[in-house]
Amino acid sequence: MNGSTKEITTAEVTPGVHIPFIGLGTWPLTGEDAAAAVHQAIGNGYRHIDTAENYANEAAVGEGIRRSGIERGDLFLTTKFNTAWHSRTGVREALGRAVERLGTDYLNLFLVHWPNPKQGRFVEACEGLQDLVNEGSIRAWGVSNFKPAHLRLVQDGGLAVPLNQVQVDPEHGQPAQLAYHREYGIVTAAYSPLGRNGSFLSHPAISGPARKLGKTPAQIILRWHVQHSRVAVPKSADNQRQRENLDIFGFALTQQQMAAIDALETGAPPRLDSDTYFH
């Protein structure tokens, strides 16, 4: 990167609300493991923490934040709620419970975790989230695991979806999903951004740039996400890996290197089908 140019390290979710490109994923950490990982991550420079009701670790995440001593305004905090709360009043109750567990008075980003289309109330849940933004109880809202068909129903209800958190990695590139996001200005946040079995970490499209640039394969993949303007939330409790995962600025992949990683796409769907899976 040009040393005279300060690199952009955040994405704009809604006007004035900026989410750091790299966040700390916290699933499946719980209890003291989660609290310690969050405390350590903040010390390592993380300013974006991602959790969820169903991870059963919001209280531990909150404890880790308190231990760090960070000012609340310096941290971007995301959590997600389950389908039991899919109504305008239910979303409000979900927020009350989440902030109580986390020990904060507001959220930066509150997400519908799964659409549960058979239940058919996710549009109402999104309306409830917009109510909370209008009141200032949350800074921004979004969704997770929403397919284009689900997003379209929300949009048909008159709402612009700011962000969708979905599974994206080099082998699960979801090109049609991400094309829909680009068309409608939806920020993409990638969970499991490094994959789940790591088989592609040794592929020459990744190991080659890693050797050339003196970076780890994981850093190359995270850099690939960021250069595609995607937020990524890798999980790690390991001190060195936390530092490495955050240290993906100050270098750039070439167009050819980016294209080679893009070409690892297999066409495989996400691990879980959001038309049928939910909690």
Are 42 and 50 contacting, i.e. CB atoms less than 8 angstroms apart? Answer: no
DSSP tally for the chain: helices H, then strands E: 10, 10
Residue spans of beta strands (DSSP E) within 127-254: 138-144, 163-167, 187-191, 231-232
Render 81-106 in DSSP notation, one character per residue: E-GGG-SHHHHHHHHHHHHHHHT-S-
Here the tokens at position 27 are: 């699933």
Catalytic residue at 55?
yes
Whole-angstrom distance, CA of residue 29 vs CA of residue 215: 26
Q: How many CB atoms lie within 10 A of CB 44?
A: 18
Measured on CA atoms in the order 28, 197, 179, 256, is the torsion positive or negative?
positive
**Tokens 């990982």 label which residue?**
37
Are 222 and 193 contacting, i.e. CB atoms less than 8 angstroms apart? Answer: yes
- Pick the catalytic residue: 55, 106, 184, 191? 55
Instruction: Tell me the catalytic residues.
Output: 55
